[in-house]
Amino acid sequence: MKISIGEHFKLPLMGKDVFIKLTREVGLKYDSKEGFMITPKTRLDILVPLLREALKEDVSFVLKCFICGKTTPCETCVYNAVCDRKSVSPACICDFCMVKKDAFPLYTEKFTEVSE
């Protein structure tokens, strides 16, 4: 299962005990219409093994490029080995946008738009 950080995602029914763990211990935000969402308080170190066991499948994270909006898989990121996913910024930049000459001005412009 790929989970996009900063976006809601749905999970199958896994029982009351797992739901309580996900919302209280792990710190996932839950909305009955939208589903779950990772927040800055989410304990990813607990989330991954819990979901792997409950879903019986691998769990990985993806981000949307802050500039272009395309999916940026963490596995192929040049910073993957040093990235602290517990404090990862949802403002990552994909490899394509990173090599643009105007990457920094585009990034700051987008950041200003979001902050307003």
Per-residue pLDDT tens over the stretch 71-103: 877 777 777 788 766 566 667 888 888 888 898
Q: Given this model, what pLDDT does residue 87 score?
A: 61
Q: Given this model, what pLDDT does residue 112 score?
A: 83
> What does the domain layout of the chain look like in residue ranges?
2-58, 62-115
Whole-model pTM above 0.85? no
Q: Given this model, what pLDDT does residue 40 score?
A: 78
Contacts of 81 (CB under 8 A, 6+ apart): none
Pairwise CA distance, residues 23 & 10, whole Å? 14
Per-residue pLDDT tens over the stretch 31-85: 999 999 988 788 888 999 999 998 999 988 888 888 888 887 777 777 778 876 6
Q: Given this model, what pLDDT does residue 85 score?
A: 60
* Maximum Cα–Cα distance across the chain: 50
DSSP character at residue 42: -
